[in-house]
Amino acid sequence: MIKVLLLDDEGLVRNGIRLILQAGGTAEVVAEDTNGVNVVELVEKYRPDVVLTDIQMPQVNGIEVTRRVTALPDPPPVVVLTTFDLDEYVYEALQAGATGFLLKDIAPRALVEAVEQVAKGDSMLSPRITKRLISSYTARPAPGAAAVGDDPLQDLTPREREVAIEVAEGMSNAEIAGKLQLSESTVKVHITHIMAKLGLSNRTKLALLVHDIGLV
């Protein structure tokens, strides 16, 4: 059973998510709170597999929650829940290390599947949020960007480059393995090497980098 830590200041939202995950049968909310003040203590106490956090909360919001969780040793992935795909804070949460972004109008089954995918190490982005993130990311000037003609993926092997492109297409490890005729464990190893070579902390940042240089 996937253990979920849920942070949201709206009781109805927390109740709804709890019931949806319970009905799905693969995940359960083991702890919850109305903001992120105690998130470190809750993570250390309950050892969740996934942290689901609202982005706009009093005192400590989802961005700071993401920073605090990702700063921990062996942190669980953080998925940000947002009401609007135009939410200006989503980009900041990405920079803080969030693994996924979901809109609160997500279908119940899709929410369960998203938690399952994130718990397995995949990133999970709402298509609408992905479009906004990529537009926002590529529109910003990149401090210290490589000179024209430089390839930020040049240190990757041909196979690692293929895997990076499939990640940017939003494919899960299992889907990449099937398409490239690799084992899922081999895909995971490739992604680990890619992250290390590029100095990236999660799949979402890898996807944005690949989009930014025009390979997808």
Domains of the chain: 2-137 (3.40.50.2300), 144-212 (1.10.10.10)
On the CB side of 126, how many CA atoms lie within 13 Å of its CA? Answer: 21
Q: What is the pLDDT of residues 11-48, one digit of tens each?
A: 999 999 999 999 999 999 999 999 999 999 999 999 99
Write down the pTM of the prediction: 0.68
Q: For residues 55 and 126, is the Cβ–Cβ distance under 8 A?
A: no
Question: 212 or 117, which is more confident?
Answer: 117
**Nearest Cα to Cα of residue 61 among 71, 69, 72, 49:** 69
**Nearest Cα to Cα of residue 2 among 19, 35, 24, 33:** 24
Q: How far apart are the first and last CA of the chain?
A: 35
Supply the DSSP symbol for 2: E
pLDDT bin (cut points 50, 70, 90) of residue 204 is confident
pLDDT bin (cut points 50, 70, 90) of residue 132 is low
Predicted local distance difference test score (pLDDT) of residue 79: 92
Number of neighbours of residue 125 by Cβ within 10 angstroms? 24
Distance of CA 184 to the CA centre of its chain: 19
What percentage of residues in the chain have a pLDDT greater than 90?
A: 41
Mean pLDDT of 69-79: 92
**Nearest Cα to Cα of residue 191 among 208, 178, 172:** 172
Mean pLDDT of 58-69: 92
pLDDT at 145 over 50: no
- DSSP helix/strand/coil, 102: strand
